[in-house]
Amino acid sequence: MTEPTHDEQFPEALVDVTIAVHTTSRPIRRAVSSILTHTSSPVSVNVVAHNVDPEKIRANLGEFADHPRLRLLSLQDGIASPAGPMNLGFDHSTAPFVSLLGSDDEFAPGALDSWLAVQAETGATTVIPKVIIIGRPMNPLPPLRGGRRTRRLNADRDRLSYRTAPLGLIDRRRFNRLRFAEGLASGEDIAYSAELWFTGSEIAVDLEGPAYLCHEDAVDRVTSAPRAVAEDFAFVDAIEAAPWFSTMRRSDRVALIVKILRIHFLDAVATRALSDEGLGPHQSALQEVFDRLRRMAPGAPALLSRVDHRILQEAFSEKPSPERIQILAHDRWNQRSFGALLTPNPIRSLHRHAMIRLFNAANRTSKLDQSPL
């Protein structure tokens, strides 16, 4: 039987939402219900059964299985990456805007309506949502300028790189060709979201409206052994190859690369230091990645904290101590010592991407909404 085209199914949809579902245990009905039951605006949903029997996913959709605004797609590529199914959803999207929803997560009632209202008011190419993990305060990322700035955001000054997941509302007309990087073991969304932040316009955040809700009730999460360093940082190739990267201002490059160093690189160091094989087999590859990131934005490493630099010094020493790195890593994540907040050069501690200002901005942002969920 020939499936009707997307235009025939959803002629007036304002938003196409893509949900990739990888196992039959994911609560896909809950995710879909949050869209189709609690949105007033015309929307459609692409559910992509990824490396799983689509008929089993259809059964799990319950009363939404044959909903006229839902399309069930299938991708059987044998690749453990969300890039393929997300891109398939984008390929089938024709509405003015697209959005992503994790199969474990849901939109609070009215969230899409609120994001559309913000977009209509501002003309934003991306509307960033408030994100709440159930039972916790609001996610403080990105740490916004002044804590309350919500309109005409700037990727550098509002530290947008710290929101890696491209959640919310995305103008498909502006980013029609943008896709996740396929073939990567991790980081498939980093170049994608960076292009949203550094090439978009009138970017807005919806702090007052309903949130994107993250659940932590999945029972089939998998923890894998550390990958090769080259696999973890293959996403850097996608960034350097992007046309927008070559035209970035120096301050924008620093904003992006310091985030990659602080979040992705130092985590990769700590993970390998605490693994059974230790840092030894990975030192050379880690050094190569660090040198590459430093070349991409020479000023970025100077904005890392004193504790971060101590971790790097230990990691690249002749005999790195896992115990020492673990202690330092605990210090940097608790962010309570002067060493975890200040840069080696005290003057650089005043930079907006230094840890002390990042920490203060995140605290202000997280206090904007304390509604219990």
d(CA 199, CA 177): 13
Q: How far apart are CA 329 and CA 335, in angstroms?
A: 10
Residues 23-53 as b or e (16 or more Cβ within 10 Å = b): beebbbbbbbbbbbebbebebbbbbbbbbbe
How far apart CA 213 and CA 137 sit, in angstroms, is 11
Which carries the bigger pLDDT value, residue 57 or residue 4? 57
Q: Mention every residue, 6+ apart, whose C-beta is less than 8 A from residue 285.
A: 228, 229, 230
pLDDT value at 358 more than 90: no
| Cα separation, 105 vs 135, whole angstroms | 14
Burial class (CB in 10 A: 0-12, 13-18, 19+), 85: buried
Q: What's the whole-model pTM score?
A: 0.90
The alpha carbons of the chain give a radius of gyration, in whole angstroms, of 21
pLDDT in tens, 93-143: 999 999 999 999 999 999 999 999 999 999 999 999 999 988 776 677 888
Q: How confident is the model at residue 225 (pLDDT cuts 50, 70, 90)?
A: low
Instruction: Give the C-alpha separation, 192 to 292, whole Å.
Output: 20
Reported as a single tens digit per residue, the pLDDT across 11-58 is 689 999 999 999 999 999 999 999 999 999 999 999 999 999 999 999
- Residue 332's pLDDT band, with cuts at 50, 70 and 90, is confident
